[in-house]
Structure 1
Amino acid sequence: MIKVLLVDDHVLVRAGLRMLLETAPGLTTVGEAADGLDAVRQSHALRPDVVLMDLHLPGMDGVAATERIATELPDTKVLALSTFDLEEHVVAALRAGASGFLPKDASPEELIEGIRIVHRGEATVAPRLLLSLIGTFVRPSRPRAVVVPAALSGLTERERQVLELIARGLSNRQIADEIGLSLSTVKNRVSDTFAKLGVRDRVQAVIIAYEVGLVTPGDQNP
């Protein structure tokens, strides 16, 4: 079971998250905290696998709490949440040591999958934020630009299409709707694409798509 600590200063939000997670196979909620300092204390006491961390908290905010947890409890992963998906919040959370960032309006499926991804030791950022974030903080690399097109040439036409849609910020569900495939088939195509590119997650895949010019910041989905 993946043990999750919920951190949010709103009781109703915590209650809703607890109900959602308790219905998901393989997940269990081990505690709740309403502020950053209590989140750090409970992380030490409960040793959760994943902390679901609201960034806007009274007293010690979520970014500071994330930094404490990431430094003091390296085996505990933090998945940051925020109502505001501005780039500075994403960057602050990731720099503080969060393994991922999702907006609070993410779907239940995205949230549950995000918890599982960070528990595996991988990184996750909401698809719609990826391209904007990378377009701001990543620059095309000439050495990579020589190597990566060869890797892209190993993709099928459908896999290239899937990579482009990922890089435009679409979730697996949106990709399935866009190209008329089942969600399970899209998940398999995404896995195959990642394997051929030699990447672990969507963040790395989007970096490649950006670096080789498959997409540009202006291509991001609204």
Structure 2
Amino acid sequence: MNKNSAIAQLSRKVIALGFLASVFGSISLLLIPSPALAHHASGGKLPSSFASGFLAGLGHPVIGIDHLVFVIAIGLLAALSSKLGMVIPLTFILATAVGTGIHLQSVNLPIPELIISASVLIVGIFLAKENKTNLALLIIIAAIAGIFHGYAYGESIVGARANAVGAYLLGFCLIQLGISAIAFYVGKSILKRASGSPSLPLRFAGFAVCGIGFAFLSSNILG
């Protein structure tokens, strides 16, 4: 197989993967009857104890597909960065706690759902890029995205007692740290074992993230 044929075949695979990811994201959106309920780990009930707050915190980043995909993506993106790559998800996680605090202070942020879905698309683009992105830029993006993701998390805890709020913060920080750390180590493992173009599998993952982000962004824009 000559070089041009290999490039053409790879391009077709990338396009197909992006298309499938878009379809997956669209189907996921159709299966979720209410965005507010889908992002509420307690099924619409306000946590009233430390245990219920902690469980709700563990659940929120997982049941929200846009949040989950973003957390996985920044873990993979950290694997592609320098040895300090884990600073990216750590910055995001701290920023989510800040974002929740902003919501609890009744400060309104503009178009949070639109920005959250756009952040998924953006991090997918950075993951799919052939060249590494500047670490400082990724940290800034992670911080901004974290504030808006955390702001969305805060909707589930407004009006709860202080102990439930603290447990909720602890829960979603721990689950995000665990997910991003697993993605980071999986990404590093892939980079070590892959031959030829070691970053190619992670770039494919980036195209999939782009497809999901585009589906969510389209849904938010078109209503």
TM-score normalized with structure 2 length:
0.23
Q: Which has the higher strand share?
A: 1
TM-score normalized with structure 1 length:
0.23
Q: Which has the higher helix share?
A: 2
Higher RCO (C-alpha 8 Å, min separation 6):
2
